[in-house]
Amino acid sequence: MLSIAAVAVMMAFAPSAVMAATKTAKECNAEYAANKPAIQASGQKKADFIAACRAGTDTTSGAAAPATTTAPAKNTAPASTNSAATGNVKTAKACDAEYAANKDAIKKSGETKKDFVAACRAGTEVIPGDKSTTAAPMPAPATTTAPATTTTKPSSARTKTVPAPSVAGTPTGANQFATEAQAKARCPAGTVVWVNLKSKIFHFAGSRNYGNTKQGAYICESDATASGFRAAENEKQPQ
């Protein structure tokens, strides 16, 4: 058993030990700042924490600072295991950073920031992937080739029509022939003419009256002149 003197000594030193454990407001503020994310995640207000710290009943003394949460890359697929399953509850600050990094994709899914942060704190957030759709190019229209237009220009050259001589003449005298060939046989080196037996005028080959009068015959020019026939005034002997 302890002596009365020993008990007295222990009671004398007990108040001093309690006083030594009490922290100042400055120390408690510093401790709150160092553990702010974890304290906020637990739902404890700053005033309550300071009061508990001053009384020496805070639970963060000697606790390690929470690990820094790296915001996920934008538009990344969600991890197969969420935070709740691993027991790693995210802070509001970490969830705000995660929302900011994936803001566009989350807005496209129709989820509000409030709902996303709540799900993030609970470890059930889902970050949708960025599914951009590229429209297929329209096929180019088929090229229609216009049919080639062929324009045939009329020939500017005019063919001079020379009347064909009659098939047969109507000879009535000597050295007159029904065909040009017969007359040519009489004077191979001479000129064959057509004589109009009614007008006594003869015409050269190439004229419109050559072989075309109603009464006439083929005759050598020399025989025509000797028989008293004369050449048409407007015609010339062909060269």
Q: Map the chain to HEC letters.
A: CCCHHHHHHHHHHHHHHHHHHCCCHHHHHHHHHHCHHHHHHCCCCHHHHHHHHHHCCCCCCCCCCCCCCCCCCCCCCCCCCCHHHHCCCCCHHHHHHHHHHCHHHHHHCCCCHHHHHHHHHHCCCCCCCCCCCCCCCCCCCCCCCCCCCCCCCCCCCCCCCCCCCCCCCCCCCCCCECCHHHHHHHCCCCCEEEEECCCCEEEECCCCCCCCCCCEEEEEHHHHHHCCCEECCCCCCCC
> What residue spans define the domains of the chain?
4-55, 67-130, 164-239
Q: What is the pLDDT of residues 102-145, one digit of tens each?
A: 988 888 888 899 998 898 988 888 887 644 433 445 556 666 66
Which pTM does this prediction carry? 0.32
Q: What is the pLDDT of residues 182-227, one digit of tens each?
A: 999 999 999 999 999 999 999 999 899 999 888 899 999 999 999 9
Residue 146: what pLDDT? 63
Residue 225: what pLDDT? 92
The pLDDT of residue 47 is above 60: yes
Higher-pLDDT residue of 172 and 59 is 172
